[in-house]
């Protein structure tokens, strides 16, 4: 069939475009005739793969051209894809479902096992690191808590240990602990010494004889003895490199104090009001 301009014609066999004067198709060798574009009677008709009317490529299995509506003479069989044929040919026997499931389970268990082993290794390394850090901290704390180089100094850098030494000094003084206790109470704790990073704080009973004497401004030997003990202990703590501040709190008003000593020096004494 010639195109609209009359210069070329389409081969009805392969759809190639040829000159109008061509006697044979340049691609498939089809012999054109002036009377008809159909194949010679002696030749086996070939399915039309290209629409001879408009030149549109024919879709496998279609009876009519999808562009111009030309009715094809022979059906065009649907050809299987070569890649699919080759793929099926190369494939071996399909694995059984049980084999696939077993292989999948093995892979999952292998991954889980590897993760567990890795976690155990990491946990072991972390534990060893923490143990070493704890040992180092303990060693440093032990060094920091050691008493000073002065063998006569009984105090430490540790406020907790220093509180125990102060309690021993007060208990060794005759009648001093009893003076800070409630005479009508059976409580064995006459007073308390608490500690923090700043130093020590002494608290005694609000019903004690010492508080009554302070309220009456009758500063007896007990109060003066307590001041002297705490002054000396504060100085020794300072020499040991510890927090040397010592406070004596007012049991009736925790926001106020009766005595403040730092580095062995009295910063405030209620008895002298300075």
- State the SS3 of 191-244: EEEEEECCEEEEEECCCCHHHHHHHCCCCCHHHHHHHHHHHHHHHHHHHCCCCC
Is residue 193 within 8 A of residue 202, CB to CB? The reply is yes
The model's pLDDT over 3-25, given as tens digits with 9 standing for 90+, comes to: 545 688 888 888 888 888 888 88
The pair of structure tokens assigned to 228 is: 């002297």
Q: What is the pLDDT of residue 235?
A: 94
Q: What is the pLDDT of residue 260?
A: 94
pLDDT at 158 over 80: yes
With bands split at pLDDT 50, 70 and 90, how would you rate the model's confidence at 273? confident
pLDDT > 70 in the chain, percent? 75
With bands split at pLDDT 50, 70 and 90, how would you rate the model's confidence at 87? very low
The model's pLDDT over 245-270, given as tens digits with 9 standing for 90+, comes to: 999 998 888 889 899 999 999 999 98
The model's pLDDT over 137-157, given as tens digits with 9 standing for 90+, comes to: 555 555 555 555 455 789 999
All residues at 6 or more sequence positions from 93 whose CB lies less than 8 Å from its CB, including other chains: none
User: How far apart, in whole angstroms, are the C-alpha atoms of residue 206 and residue 258?
Assistant: 13
Please tell me the least confidently modeled range out of 10-19, 37-46, 71-80, 233-242.
37-46
The model's pLDDT over 184-234, given as tens digits with 9 standing for 90+, comes to: 776 656 788 999 999 999 988 888 888 887 878 887 788 888 999 999 999
Q: What is the pLDDT of residue 240?
A: 93
With bands split at pLDDT 50, 70 and 90, how would you rate the model's confidence at 37? very low
Higher-pLDDT residue of 244 and 15 is: 244
pLDDT at 177 over 60: yes
DSSP state of 137: H
- Residues pairing with 17 in the sheet: 10
With bands split at pLDDT 50, 70 and 90, how would you rate the model's confidence at 95? low
Mean pLDDT in residue range 65-81: 73
Angle made by CA atoms 130, 131, 135, in degrees to the nearest 5:
115
How much is the mean pLDDT over the chain? 79
Q: What is the pLDDT of residue 35?
A: 40
Q: What is the pLDDT of residue 199?
A: 92
Higher-pLDDT residue of 78 and 70 is: 70
CA atoms within 13 A on the CB side of 233: 26
31: three-class secondary structure by DSSP: strand
- Whose tokens are 């268990």? That residue is 109
Q: How far apart are the first and last CA of the chain?
A: 127
Q: What is the pLDDT of residue 36?
A: 47
pLDDT at 84 over 80: no
Mean pLDDT in residue range 58-69: 83
């Amino acid at each position: 069939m010639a195109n609209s301009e009359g210069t070329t014609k389409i081969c009805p066999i392969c759809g190639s475009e040829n000159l109008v004067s061509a006697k044979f198709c340049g691609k498939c060798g089809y012999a054109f005739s002036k009377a008809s574009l159909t194949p010679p009677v002696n030749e086996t008709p070939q399915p039309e793969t290209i629409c001879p009317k408009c030149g549109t490529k024919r879709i496998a299995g279609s009876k009519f051209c999808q562009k111009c509506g030309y009715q094809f003479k022979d059906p065009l069989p649907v050809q299987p894809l070569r890649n699919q044929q080759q793929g099926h040919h190369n494939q071996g026997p399909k694995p059984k479902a049980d084999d696939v499931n077993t292989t999948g389970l093995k892979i999952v268990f292998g991954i889980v096992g590897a993760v567990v082993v890795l976690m155990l290794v990491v946990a072991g390394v972390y534990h060893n690191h923490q143990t070493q850090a704890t040992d180092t901290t303990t060693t440093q704390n032990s060094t920091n808590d050691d008493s000073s180089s002065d063998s006569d100094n009984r105090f430490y850098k540790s406020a907790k240990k220093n509180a125990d030494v102060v309690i021993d000094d007060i208990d060794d003084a005759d009648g001093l602990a009893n003076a800070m206790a409630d005479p009508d109470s059976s409580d064995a704790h006459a007073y308390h010494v608490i500690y923090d990073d700043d130093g020590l704080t002494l608290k005694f009973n609000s019903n004690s004889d010492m508080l009554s004497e302070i309220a009456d401004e009758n500063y007896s030997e007990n109060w003066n003895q307590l001041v002297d003990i705490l002054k000396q202990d504060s100085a020794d703590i300072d020499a040991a490199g510890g927090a040397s501040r010592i406070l004596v709190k007012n049991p009736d008003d925790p926001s106020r104090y009766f005595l403040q000593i730092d580095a062995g020096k009295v910063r405030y004494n209620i008895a002298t009001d300075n």
